Amino acid sequence: MGKKFVPQTEPLSAEEIQEQTRFRMEKLKALQAEGKDPYEELTYDVTNHSTEITGDYDSFAGKTVRVAGRLMSKRGMGKVSFCDLYDRRGKIQIFTKIDNLPEEEYKAWQNLDIGDLVGVEGEVYMTEKGEVSILTKSYKLLAKCLHPLPNKYQGLKDTEIRYRQRYLDLIVNPQVKETFEKRSKVIKEIRNFLADRDFMEVETPLLVTNAGGAAARPFTTHFNALDIDLKLRISLELYLKRLLVGGFERVFEIGRVFRNEGMDTRHNPEFTLMELYQAYTDYNGMMELTESMFRYVAEKVCGTTLIKYGDLEIDFGKPFERLTMNDAIKKYAGIDFDTVDGDDAAKKLADEHHIEYETWHTKGDIVNLFFEEYCEKNLLQPTFIMDHPIAISPLTKKKKGEPEKVERFELFINTWEMCNAYSELNDPIDQRERFAAQDATAEAGNDEADHTDEDFLNALELGMPPTGGIGYGIDRLVMLLTDSPSIRDVLLFPTMKTKEG
């Protein structure tokens, strides 16, 4: 009778990890010396996955199946053993008896380690305790795990290790897999929604000479073949608009953008952006589309429009609230910027309220600073904030009768900016003036300003139809729908500082 398996409940020391790794390497070398190198296995014919079997036992009872995955626990005694095998769908118990295998094969099975990848062929049956299992008839070792894994008792909670070694995180924390499966479904359902509305998916350049379309610092690089400096895109906007000039009426792109800025729980220097543009509509049409899309995705991915995020319940089912930016400031700060005349008066108000600003800031910039200080923290349920100052909206159509404002909205949920959308500026003369104003702020010290894009202006001069556009970060939406506290929890490989040594 063999020794009963006793689970390791305390974290291994560095010395124990080193010792276990040495033992595993010795096992691998012994297998290779016997001509049983697991890395020489080329394929394994998998017939079924774990939850397919456990979820429909009546159909599988008594049948022979072939499964493959990672051994994540071992228990039992000399002549019988139980293991949990994890595959892409979940886990299933593997029951192995010495009577069912040649003695040498059974000894080799008992010599496997937690973390090893195996293929198992066997008969589906139900144990006396009512657990659907596979009775092993044959098996193959497909890859050797050379390092001990964190066990299910100690887990893997160190976020530094989890983010740096996402592969290890996925192995030992099954709920992390669920987050990324849900992320994939979010993107799939966005595509389904837009396909139903006759949008065409396109791709535009990542490397550009002029990184425009957003207020952000770009990353720069040098292209040796042409001896030119290029930038990684910060937005998808300007190229997508060129396509509307060319005659496409509904386009969208889901792609990576890059912004050379700080990192926190909601910001990563590279992230996934969705932008769409629709001809012959305006920001009112975009509000309807945005509200419908967010509601649709929430229901398809989570099965409900009531989404729990921490202690907050977010209701995507109700009509989203609509407030102008000035009305929001009046509501939460008690200041009516419609009565504030000029830049100096706005700066004086900022001084009185201890709001810091730059020398080149205008009244419009100050309005936005007041909004960020007093309003954002109150916007928990889905809320459209509309009619932004023209100074902070260089690509947006002016609001009729209110020359200081534009037809723009942002969607806020859980205090976060979730979406930015406009009635797109299609007047090439006005756009040239806006670019010139942005160039001036860049010279005054604004390193996030847009710059004049002559090719884009040339496209506008050929005529772009009235257009509505939307952009939003996929990552923040996934955070909301998976109750994830940090953007790093929804990025498979978040940006990390390099480790010394």
Residue written as tokens 């319940």?
Answer: 313
Residue in the block written with tokens 């092993």: 136
Considering the chain, what is the average pLDDT of its residues?
93
**Local confidence band at 214 (pLDDT 50, 70, 90 cut-offs):** confident
pLDDT above 50 (res 1): no
Q: Which of 66-80, 202-216, 378-392 has the highest mean pLDDT?
A: 378-392
pLDDT at 95 over 80: yes
pLDDT (average), residues 407-418:
97
pLDDT category, 12, cuts 50, 70, 90?
confident
DSSP-assigned letter for residue 389? B
- Token duo for residue 172: 């030992």
What pLDDT shows up at residue 501?
46
Helix, coil or strand: residue 474: helix
Helix (H) or strand (E) holding 327: helix 325-333
Question: Which residue, 472, 473, 463, is CA-closest to 241?
Answer: 463
Nearest to residue 168, comparing CAs of 177, 88, 93?
177
pLDDT of residue 451: 85
pLDDT at position 381 is 98
Q: What is the structure's pLDDT at 4?
A: 44
Using DSSP, state whether 142 is helix, strand or coil: strand
309-323 mean pLDDT: 97
Strand boundaries in 160-305, DSSP class E: 200-201, 207-208, 220-223, 228-232, 250-258, 270-279
| Per-residue pLDDT at 448 exceeds 90 | no
Q: Which residue has the higher pLDDT, 21 or 498?
A: 21
pLDDT band per the 50, 70, 90 thresholds, residue 154: low
Sorted by where each starts, the structural domains of the chain and their CATH numbers stand as 14-155 (2.40.50.140), 174-320+381-489 (3.30.930.10)
Q: Mean pLDDT, to the nearest integer, of 141-151?
A: 92
Nearest alpha-carbon partner for 257 in 484, 424, 474, 482: 474
Report the length, in residues, of the chain: 501
**Mean pLDDT to the nearest integer, 203-222:** 92
Identify whether the C-beta of residue 370 lies closer than 8 Å to the C-beta of residue 333: yes
pTM score of the predicted model: 0.90
Task: Give mean pLDDT, residues 62-71.
Answer: 97
